[in-house]
Structures are given as C-alpha cells and as structure tokens.
Structure 1
Amino acid sequence: MNLPKVVSELVRTQNNFDSVAYANCFSETAVVYDEGKTHNGRKEIEHWIADANERYKATMQPVSFEEKGTEIILKAEASGKFDGSPIVLSYHLEIADELIQSLKITG
C-alpha cells in the first residue's frame, strides 16, 4: 500500500508508542477528534496520544487507503488492551504542506 509519507510516519510512530514523533506528524494548529473529544494543537495531541498509548497500547495495521477530494481515509486494524480488540477504525485525515491538519477517528 503506497501511503503518503506523513501517514506512513503516523503508523510507524503509533506502533512504536512514540507520542512526541506522532505529534510531530501534525501541524501546530491541527485538530484531532477521538472518543467524543477534541484535541487542539500539537501539544494537546501529544498528551492525548501519550495517554491513549498508556491506556490501550494500540498498534495499527493499514487495511485500505483512499483519497476523496481533500480528505484521505485510512482504514486500519487497531489491536491493543481494549474491549473488542482488534477492531477496524477509519482515520479521516486532511493533509497540507506534508503535515496532518485534522484527524477524525471513527469506528
């Protein structure tokens, strides 16, 4: 699967539980929507993913990838310490200047 560089980096850093490198895939003003909460800016994103890594130890394996206009949808199997694991999640991404501007994770 030929993913954009920043998406490949997002997967790699998630699977290494590297919250700093994960957050660096996002712009300074990026927004993440996950589990009914909004996380604004790289610092909040770093804290969110560090907490999620601690709680869930989730890794992701890309399943499919498509581009719809300015949106990229990555479907990935997430496995970790949570009910229902593994589960396929959809990562709705908007990318500009090789950084993620927004990410919405849905089931």
Structure 2
Amino acid sequence: MAHDLPPAIAAYVAANARLDADGMLAAFAPRAVVLDDGGRHEGREAIKAWIRAATLDSRAIFTPEAWRDEDGRIVVDGLTTGDFTGSPIRFTFRFRLDDGAIAALEIA
C-alpha cells in the first residue's frame, strides 16, 4: 500500500514504520504545518518535537489501508498502533504536498 502513495508520503510512512524521526522529518517542507490533537506545529523544529512526543514516545506506527485524492489533498486512512491507551486507533491523515514535500498534515 505505501509504495502506491506519492513519494513524500511513502517516505514518511516508511520512516514511521522504522520509528526514524529524521526520516519522517525529511519528508516535510521547511515551513510545513502539522495539526494534531488540537495542536499546531509549524516549521521543522516544532515538527521534530511533535514527532518525538506523538510518535517516538509512544512507539506509534501508522499503517495506511486506503488513500484518495480529495480536493488537492491526499487523504490516507489507516490504523495506528503503539504503546498508548486505546491502541490501535483508526486515523485519517490529510496531506497537502508542495514541490514534492509535505507542506501540511492534518490528523483526525
């Protein structure tokens, strides 16, 4: 499934599966924005901190199950498993790409 995704998103998903923070961060544009759990994380330093807190600390791995292009955004549905209450949880990731990098990510 991940190999069918646009390259930046596939790279993010592959790095997430390895719990590779640097690999995940590399998929983002320098001024990218992440909206997750009521928070807004803008720019590489803030996104790096978010990756640590939201992903590495709980060993959260997102496994895509289906994706679609929706009004210029790539919408990816799947399960996130990890060391957190309620695992696994179904999430929808909405990506906006710009020049081959993730410019925005909203997780719901």
1:70-103 CA-partner distances (Å, limit 9, x unpaired): 1110012100011111111000110011100100
Q: Matched residues, percent identical?
A: 29
Q: Distance in 1 between matches of 2:68 and 2:33?
A: 21
How high is the TM-score relative to the length of structure 2? 0.92
Pairwise mapping of residues 2-81 of structure 1 onto structure 2 (< 5 A)?
A: 2-81=4-83
Q: Which amino acid aligns with 2:29?
A: S
C-alpha displacement of 1:54: 3.4
Report the AA paired with residue 67 of structure 1: D
User: Which residue in 1 is equivalent to 2:88?
Assistant: 86
CA RMSD in angstroms comes to: 1.1
The 4+ residue runs of structure 1 with deviation greater than 6 A are none
Letter in 2 for 1:20: D
Which residue number corresponds to residue 98 of structure 1?
100
Q: 1:89, 1:68 → 2: CA distance?
A: 16
What is the distance in 2 between the residues matched to 1:53 and 1:101?
19
Query: For structure 1, which segment, 84-93 or 52-61, has the greater mean C-alpha deviation from structure 2 after superposition?
Result: 52-61
**Secondary structure of residue in 1 paired with 2:83:** coil
CA distance in 2, matches of 1:63, 1:88: 10
User: Conserved in 1, the CA contact under 8 Å of 2:58 and 2:82?
Assistant: yes
Q: Distance in 2 between matches of 1:87 and 1:54?
A: 16
Structure 2 unaligned runs (5+)?
none
Q: Shift of the alpha carbon at 1:11?
A: 0.6
TM-score (norm 1): 0.93
Give the aligned length: 106
